[in-house]
Amino acid sequence: MYLTYYGLVRSPFEMTPDPAFLYLGEAHREGLATLVYAMKARKGFVLLTGEVGTGKTTLLHALLAQLDAGTASAFLFNPRLEPLDFFRILFDELGIEERCTTKAEYLLALNKFLIERLAKNLPTLLIVDEAQNLSPEMLEEIRLLSNLETPTSKLIQIMLVGQPELLDMLDQPGLRQLRQRIVLRHHLRPFDETELAAYVSERLRLAGYTGAGLFDRKALAALYEVTGGVPRLVNVVCDGALLQGYARDKDRVGRDLVMEVASDLALLGAGRPAAPTNGERAPMRAVSATPARKGWFGLFRRAEDRG
């Protein structure tokens, strides 16, 4: 690989939400601050939205790393569940051992658990990632959970995190009650050009790069053009550009390499099977729409439309 060639000690553009690579530009700083505030102020029901790959899951991991030791949290990242499975997993995550078979039993046991925690002033958090995949039935279960409260306090903090279509879902007339319970919302935007440049250089630095300007100014402008500042796409294109740069013996990445990689990825999405790097699955939307065929192409088009 290109690591030694560019004097790197680890891979700079991995597709994992590795907290060691956390970069907090304004967008992500604001997003994280909102989540932290929601927890501190025990805000009850919170919504975090953002396009695929903008860094929502990364922020959740950053939040979990910051929580007080006393916090019990359940992190659900595959919310395509039947209510009973949901409760089973929730109990497992929260470490509730009571055996239940019906929903009513689960709710009763959960209520008891939460009241005991509140008495000790210990917060409990439920995070539902990819919440745009929740069924109407599951949304209703979650609304019922958000009803668990004492006259003075919420018993559980709930964060619904997902793609912008989550907002459309919540706008449906039948979900008015749920919507009214949401006390804090944040929409995570992609990087602007300044953040993108800082992000790229920060990742390179953390990966051991000691030089300056591995991606030149025009390359960074091109990166913004083709990715719209979406971190996940930035990672894919940067990784590809470094690989190409190494293959061609270039000590710098310029605009041409970035454009070439972007165009290759677009081609790849239009015909050949999508092969995400580093074993990471392709973005949810690409997968769930039409696997392989739309793939990256759709994403690049959207990025270009925006830019």
Ligand X SMILES: Nc1ncnc2c1ncn2[C@@H]1O[C@H](COP(=O)(O)OP(=O)(O)O)[C@@H](O)[C@H]1O
Q: What is the C-alpha separation between 278 and 11, in angstroms, rounded?
A: 10
Q: Residue 121's Cα: distance from chain center in Å?
A: 29
Query: Number of C-alpha atoms within 13 angstroms, CB side, residue 256?
Result: 5
Length of the chain, in residues: 307
Least Å from the CB of residue 14 to Mg ion: 15
Least Å from the CB of residue 201 to ligand X: 13
Least Å from the CB of residue 84 to Mg ion: 25
Q: Among 11, 34, 49, 54, which residue interacts with ligand X (rule: CB under 6 A)?
A: 54
- Is there binding between residue 227 and Mg ion (CB under 5 A)? no
**Of residues 50-69, which lie at the interface with Mg ion (CB under 5 A)?**
56-57
Q: Which stretch binds ligand X (CB under 6 A): 108-116, 136-144, 230-238, 293-301?
A: 230-238
Q: What is the C-alpha separation between 184 and 47, in angstroms, rounded?
A: 6
- Is there binding between residue 235 and Mg ion (CB under 5 A)? no
Element of type H or E holding 193: helix 193-206
Q: Which stretch binds ligand X (CB under 6 A): 14-22, 77-85, 116-124, 246-254?
A: 14-22
Q: Which is nearer to Mg ion, 56 or 189 (CB)?
A: 56
- Is there binding between residue 6 and ligand X (CB under 6 A)? no
- Is there binding between residue 23 and ligand X (CB under 6 A)? yes
The site string for ligand X over 257-286 (x = CB under 6 A, - otherwise) reads: ------------------------------
Least Å from the CB of residue 159 to ligand X: 13
Q: What is the C-alpha separation between 26 and 192, in angstroms, rounded?
A: 9
> Is there a contact between 156 and 127 (Cβ–Cβ < 8 Å)?
no
Q: Which is nearer to ligand X, 67 or 84 (CB)?
A: 67
Least Å from the CB of residue 89 to Mg ion: 18
Binding partner selected for residue 23 from Mg ion, ligand X, none, CB under the kind-specific 5 to 8 Å limit: ligand X
- Is there binding between residue 232 and ligand X (CB under 6 A)? yes
Please tell me what DSSP assigns to residue 232.
H
- Is there binding between residue 21 and ligand X (CB under 6 A)? yes
The contacts of residue 84 (CB under 8 Å, 6+ apart) are 103, 106
Please tell me what DSSP assigns to residue 24.
-
Q: Tell me the three state secondary structure of residue 303.
A: helix
> Is there a contact between 117 and 72 (Cβ–Cβ < 8 Å)?
yes
Q: What is the C-alpha separation between 82 and 277, in angstroms, rounded?
A: 32
Q: List interacting residues with ligand X (CB under 6 A).
A: 15-17, 21-23, 28, 50, 52-58, 231-232, 235
